[in-house]
Amino acid sequence: MNAQPEPLRNNLRAIDQNRAQLQTTLIGALNRRLIDELQTGARIATERDRRAAIAWIQFRSGEHLVQIAPLLVDGALARVSGAQGSVDAAAAAATLGRIEPLVGALELVLGCELQPAGLHKSYAGDPVLLRLDATTGSGAIQHRLLLAVPPEMAVEPLAEIELAATAIGGLRLRWTARFDGPAVPAARVAAIAPGDLLLLGTGAPVAKLSLPGRNDAPRARIAFNNGVLVLQDDAAMDGSQEASTLAPADGETGWADVRIPTTIEIIGSGMTAAELATLGKGSVLPLPANGGTLPVRVIAGEQCVAEGELVAVGEGFGVLITGVTADGEA
């Protein structure tokens, strides 16, 4: 009970930094690529994968030994061993001819030429072990290889392998739009509760968009009545809702007298990377709807303090608070 607790770091299994970097780099360079009209999938090899490998083709690159174990070739179990379980050099050579495009891709990624150097029943050393699948357009696995790369091997790619269209096209990314709200007394921010109303004014606000993967932050005019926002990168902010900090007449500033600027945030719907990349002035984005309402978040002091929905207030707009976040977490 009185034992001094040890730092958590001391109880965690350590991962060699070079090994982790090589593993991440190889997976990134080989995953979801197009090689010989096949789409690849790269991942860390499992223990089951290792047990399935019955022969390893060895390659030399300088002082480094790179090893490949074919598991599936042309959609069938790879034949690289004889009847008694011994390795079969002739069968391995024939197999190597079928998987040559994948071996060539590995050479491009590693930045070196791989020279066949032998055939063994198990891999040598303590390499980084990856599984590389190559599938057809219908999703059938054409080839499956295990790759064993020494962790100290430097990766100097000669060229980048073409990325499969589905690698990016299948991603769904969310845009966000932010526009200035009013400056609110700190005491009111601290006491904000469901049912409160935050008035925004009468003019259509201009929001700044955050688009994943893009360095620009285009502006968009929000048309609440139409349920859309329209990109107009030259739109000028009118500054009518600029935040200010007010001091009492006696010059003594108290907590309750400080006004905190607020920001209203809209989290958009998912779009593909291609759709986001091609947005430009005049593009129209639908505002997210939740049961006929427009959900928003209220940011104050760089933290989300409340969630709500946009409502009409007379000739203007406001945010009806529906929930309060704890400790600034949405």
Q: What is 199-261 written as a DSSP string?
A: EEESSPPEEEEE-TT-S---EEEEEGGGTEEEE-TTPPP--TT-------TTS---GGG-EEE
How far apart, in whole angstroms, are the C-alpha atoms of residue 200 and residue 67? 65
The pLDDT assigned to 126 comes to: 93
List the chain pLDDT tens, one digit each, 330 residues: 455 555 545 555 556 778 888 999 999 999 999 999 999 999 999 999 999 998 999 999 989 999 999 999 999 998 887 666 678 788 888 899 999 999 999 999 999 999 999 999 999 999 999 999 999 989 999 999 999 999 999 888 888 888 887 777 667 889 999 999 999 888 888 889 999 999 988 877 889 999 888 888 889 988 877 888 899 864 444 443 443 333 343 445 566 668 889 999 999 888 887 788 888 888 889 888 777 778 999 999 889 999 999 888 888 888 999 999 865 454
How far apart, in whole angstroms, are the C-alpha atoms of residue 57 and residue 290? 57
CB 179 within 8 A of CB 206: yes
Q: Which residue, chain included where needed, has tokens 């190597």?
A: 96
Q: Is the dihedral of CA 228, 230, 231, 232 positive or negative?
A: negative
Instruction: Specify the DSSP element, H or E, that contains 328.
Output: none
131: left (phi over 0), alpha (psi -120 to 50) or beta: beta
How far apart, in whole angstroms, are the C-alpha atoms of residue 13 and residue 68? 28
Of residues 171, 92, 91, 166, the one with CA closest to residue 135: 166
Task: Tell the burial category of 24 from Cβ atoms under 10 Å away from its Cβ (0-12, 13-18, 19+).
Answer: exposed
- Within a 10 A sphere around the Cβ of 68, how many other Cβ atoms? 26
CB 32 within 8 A of CB 161: no
Backbone dihedral angles phi then psi of residue 307, each to the nearest 5 degrees: -120, 150
Of residues 319, 167, 159, 185, the one with CA closest to residue 247: 185
User: Residue 80 carries which side chain, given as an amino acid letter?
Assistant: V
Yes or no: domain 15-169 corresponds to CATH 3.40.50: no
The pLDDT assigned to 14 comes to: 59
How far apart, in whole angstroms, are the C-alpha atoms of residue 177 and residue 220? 8
The pLDDT assigned to 13 comes to: 55
CA distances in angstroms from 17 to 42, 49, 66, listed in the order given: 20, 24, 20
Q: What is the DSSP letter of 95?
A: H
Of residues 50, 69, 44, the one with CA closest to residue 58: 69
Q: Map out the domains of the chain as residue ranges.
A: 15-169, 173-324
Using only C-alpha atoms, what is the Rg of the chain? 30
User: Residue 300 carries which side chain, given as an amino acid letter?
Assistant: A
